Structure 1
Amino acid sequence: MNGMTLHRTAADRAEELPGSSLEHPFGPDWEVFKVRGKVFMLMTEVPGRPVVILKSDPGEAHALREENEEITPGYHMNKKHWITLEGGDGIDTGLVKELVTESYRLVVGHLPKSEQPVDPRTYGRPA
């Protein structure tokens, strides 16, 4: 997957998520997706390379980095809880959608129950 397809796939998935909003608090070069005011995804370019930055469970983040050279610690974020995706052969549409959804679920899971737009334990998971 190339970098522009990565950005489009991630943005399309983020826009589908209940309560998701797009903001540009760091200027036009950063797209920041939030749910109820909390960031779950950032997109920008790092020296000309499109990247997507997502929240991830620390154990899962470590495993993902071990398995995919296109997944690295979160750019300008907590390296334990965030990952950065770059385009490449190890990244496909399904993985991008899954990781965006998981990032969203992690953030929603930390919101007060009354503010959660979905049940983070079941949303987006197979029945």
Structure 2
Amino acid sequence: MKYQWIDEYLKAMKGVSSDVKEEWNWTRYFIGDKMFAAVCRDEQGEDHLINLKLEPAEGAFLRQQYEDIVPGYDMDKIHWNSVKTNGTVPENLLKDLLEKSYYLVFSKLSKKQQEELSS
């Protein structure tokens, strides 16, 4: 995979946990109990797509700018986007998108959950 740093990068974010959904072949990343990213693997176990959540307008804009950003695989096509791991999306942009996904989901948590995760 081109973006081998993703697991370490996401797990370094405050309050992040992960699991493996074996029947889907996905590694999912959560803030609190809400998923904000997933690395999806193909039948050979190779990383294939990275799912992340964005504001709908930003997701639509990025899909027009990058052929390797597509509507979310197996997800809500309005809020979720997939980045192809064999594509040309710059690392710094992908890091920015992953952070936006994290903060978007974090902002939807209850104030109590946000405080617990921030401490």
TM-score range, shorter chain: 0.7 to 0.9
Q: TM-score, normalised by structure 2?
A: 0.86
Aligned to 2:14: 18
- Over the matched positions of the two proteins, sequence identity in percent amounts to 28
| Structure 2, unaligned runs of 5 or more | none
Equivalences for residues 99-114 of structure 1 within 5 A: 99-114=97-112
The letter of the residue matching 1:39 is M
Q: TM-score, normalised by structure 1?
A: 0.81
Shift of 1:96: 1.2
Shift of 1:44: 1.2
> How far apart, in 1, do the equivalents of 2:113 and 2:27 lie?
23
Equivalences for residues 1-127 of structure 1 within 5 A: 4-6=1-3, 8-27=4-23, 29-46=25-42, 50-86=48-84, 87-89=86-88, 91-116=89-114, 117-118=117-118
Shift of 1:28: 7.4
| Structure 1, unaligned runs of 5 or more | 119-127
Shift of 1:46: 4.3
Q: CA RMSD in A?
A: 1.8
The letter of the residue matching 2:2 is T
Give secondary structure in 2 for the equivalent of 1:51.
Answer: strand
The letter of the residue matching 1:38 is K
Larger RCO of the pair (alpha carbons < 8 Å, separation 6+): 1
- Counting matched residue pairs gives 113
> How far apart, in 2, do the equivalents of 1:32 and 1:42 lie?
4
The letter of the residue matching 2:41 is E
Give secondary structure in 2 for the equivalent of 1:79.
Answer: coil
Are the equivalent residues in 1 in contact too, given 2:39–2:47 (CA < 8 A)? Answer: no
